A and B are shown apart, each in its own frame.
Chain A
């Protein structure tokens, strides 16, 4: 008669809300970058090169976060960088989810040889290092933004495929799905009407958890110089460009670094918080 002791309740979720609010603010700022950015992000101004941020010596409100070695306003570039990074990460994730869900559905519904082939592919993709695949794809196809999106999709699809296949295999045994099949529902119909809606919540959780990873993938590639190409602003690229000016203008790398860290930390906080809350519920 072991008495199951529920785990202590998750800490007050005010912090979780605050993190959500901050993240929303950053995303909105990025989305409306053209409206709020004080300067044109790519406008070069040699007269105000490497201006420090406003709180440092000689900083001015003309460039609150300073400028880079070409005199471009860092606040504006950071806002546009958030925009670029979120756009690539979002589209890449959507692509990977669509690809993974499709293959997972096919795998789960078709079974047999098709299933084994797709799952074999999943196994291979799990073993392969993501970064390598990304580098190969970029070397082959170039560094256009659509290439980044497609390649990010290609390295992330297996997680969704496994999730969907697993759910399909479970749901297939459910009475309501079986009933639908007995009534002559085709595989596709069963999939669309009964299985996909049931997948919604695990998919949303998975998308949220993988978003920061994808964001960092893009940032990493751009940092290495093989991601988003100049003059388009991207956080990773800005950090990489600033690397050579750390001595005289630390803010060139520092500002985009802080923004990137803030975003990933907020995501991480929210992800952990949400997972703990789900856990608590699962444990009663």
Chain B
């Protein structure tokens, strides 16, 4: 157990180290910032002076050291365009992303888990079959197409919901649904498979043999056991929320961090991009670590080992 957690932690650290190197390389080998700051060109002397000032004349490992030190002190640099502190740019936008992502995740769990469970328990019911058919659709269609379809239908055809920006609570409805649909599909499909596995487990026959009712068997001996593998999927879905929000924010023109990230790529604003990459990777790594811990807490077979 302890050994497992240590290994797991080491892996998380290794991943972050690789990300750090990637981010550093991206930043350093993307050309000097001067081309952008002085589009008209620089004299060699001026450039050398600037390089000395910014430490760019130092050997690369020294630069890396400075880079990491700065970061540990909370200095992530400034945007090449606006000169704003990078973390401020993100801090201003994170609210929208977290709200929409969180709501979408809750919606997806609230709908996906029961749908998948019902589809496994009542496999021959036309209603659950239709539900899984829809889930199949949601699974194959990308966020941006779902978003556009929803805008066309609810925004322009029915004219009942706003489709751009985040002015009122109604503005959140379509983005949240768009982000949730593929997750609902994934969770439902996975839940169904996990339930089917759980139904055929020998202990379910024991439970049926005890004369328990279907409801009690489903709750205590099938659902419960299917929830454990679901934990892993929820972890993956949090990463999917981060991915999806990039598209959802683009479709609905929302002021979130996904737009910042895409803007930074298009403008080649490397300090901004770099922070996004690091933060995003840190979240994914942290989530997968937490998921492993949750898994351990939820499954006595793992928890009580060693």
Residues of A within 8 A of B (CB): 120, 123-124, 127-133, 135-136, 138-140, 212, 216, 219-220, 223-226, 236, 239-240, 242-243, 246-247, 250, 253-254, 257, 260-261, 264-265, 267-268, 272
In the assembled complex, how far is the CB of residue A224 from the closest CB belonging to chain B, in whole angstroms? 5
A131: nearest chain-B partner, CB-CB: B243
The A-B contact count (CB < 8 A) is: 113
A139: nearest chain-B partner, CB-CB: B265
In the assembled complex, how far is the CB of residue B142 from the closest CB belonging to chain A, in whole angstroms? 5
In the assembled complex, how far is the CB of residue A50 from the closest CB belonging to chain B, in whole angstroms? 15
In the assembled complex, how far is the CB of residue A263 from the closest CB belonging to chain B, in whole angstroms? 9
Q: Is the CB of B148 within 8 A of A243?
A: yes
Q: B90: CB under 8 A from chain A?
A: no
Q: Is the CB of A135 within 8 A of B265?
A: yes
State which of B18, B152, B261 has its C-beta within 8 Å of the C-beta of A254. Answer: B152
In the assembled complex, how far is the CB of residue B60 from the closest CB belonging to chain A, in whole angstroms? 16
Q: B144: CB under 8 A from chain A?
A: yes
In the assembled complex, how far is the CB of residue A94 from the closest CB belonging to chain B, in whole angstroms? 23
Distance, CA A189 to CA B288, complexed state (A) = 40
Distance, CA A138 to CA B144, complexed state (A) = 20
A138: nearest chain-B partner, CB-CB: B265
A139-B26, A220-B247 given; A261·B151 CB < 8 A: no
B31: nearest chain-A partner, CB-CB: A140
Q: B145: CB under 8 A from chain A?
A: yes
Q: Is the CB of A224 within 8 A of B247?
A: yes
23 A-B residue pairs with CB within 8 Å: A120-B14, A123-B11, A123-B14, A124-B15, A128-B18, A129-B239, A132-B276, A132-B277, A133-B22, A139-B26, A139-B264, A139-B265, A140-B30, A225-B262, A236-B144, A239-B148, A240-B250, A243-B250, A246-B152, A260-B142, A265-B137, A265-B141, A272-B136
Find chain A residues with CB under 8 A from B288 CB.
127
A224-B247, A247-B156, A260-B142 given; A135·B15 CB < 8 A: no
Q: Is the CB of B156 within 8 A of A136?
A: no
Distance, CA A42 to CA B219, complexed state (A) = 59
Residues of B within 8 A of A (CB): 11, 14-15, 18-19, 22-23, 26, 29-30, 136-137, 139-142, 144-145, 148-149, 151-152, 155-156, 163, 239, 242-243, 246-247, 250-251, 261-262, 264-266, 268, 270, 273, 276-277, 280-281, 284-285, 288
Find chain B residues with CB under 8 A from A254 CB.
148, 152
State which of A128, A226, A236, A264 has its C-beta within 8 Å of the C-beta of B284. Answer: A128
State which of B149, B242, B247 has its C-beta within 8 Å of the C-beta of A129. Answer: B242
State which of A132, A240, A260 has its C-beta within 8 Å of the C-beta of B281. Answer: A132
A128-B281, A128-B284 given; A212·B140 CB < 8 A: yes
Find chain B residues with CB under 8 A from A129 CB.
239, 242-243, 280-281, 284
State which of A136, A225, A264 has its C-beta within 8 Å of the C-beta of B266. Answer: A225
Distance, CA A129 to CA B261, complexed state (A) = 14
Distance, CA A123 to CA B261, complexed state (A) = 25
Q: Is the interface of A mostly helix, strand, loop or mixed?
A: helix
Q: Is the CB of B22 within 8 A of A136?
A: yes
Q: Is the CB of A226 within 8 A of B266?
A: yes
Q: Is the CB of A136 within 8 A of B273?
A: yes
In the assembled complex, how far is the CB of residue B246 from the closest CB belonging to chain A, in whole angstroms? 7
Q: Is the CB of B246 within 8 A of A131?
A: yes
Q: Is the CB of A250 within 8 A of B145?
A: no
B261: nearest chain-A partner, CB-CB: A135
Q: Is the CB of A239 within 8 A of B140?
A: no
Find chain A residues with CB under 8 A from B247 CB.
220, 223-224
Q: Is the CB of A224 within 8 A of B243?
A: no
In the assembled complex, how far is the CB of residue A123 from the closest CB belonging to chain B, in whole angstroms? 6
Distance, CA A212 to CA B19, complexed state (A) = 27
State which of A128, A216, A224 has its C-beta within 8 Å of the C-beta of B15. Answer: A128
B29: nearest chain-A partner, CB-CB: A140
In the assembled complex, how far is the CB of residue A204 from the closest CB belonging to chain B, in whole angstroms? 21
Distance, CA A131 to CA B18, complexed state (A) = 16
Q: Is the CB of A268 within 8 A of B145?
A: no
Find chain B residues with CB under 8 A from A139 CB.
26, 30, 264-265, 268, 270, 273
Distance, CA A218 to CA B288, complexed state (A) = 26
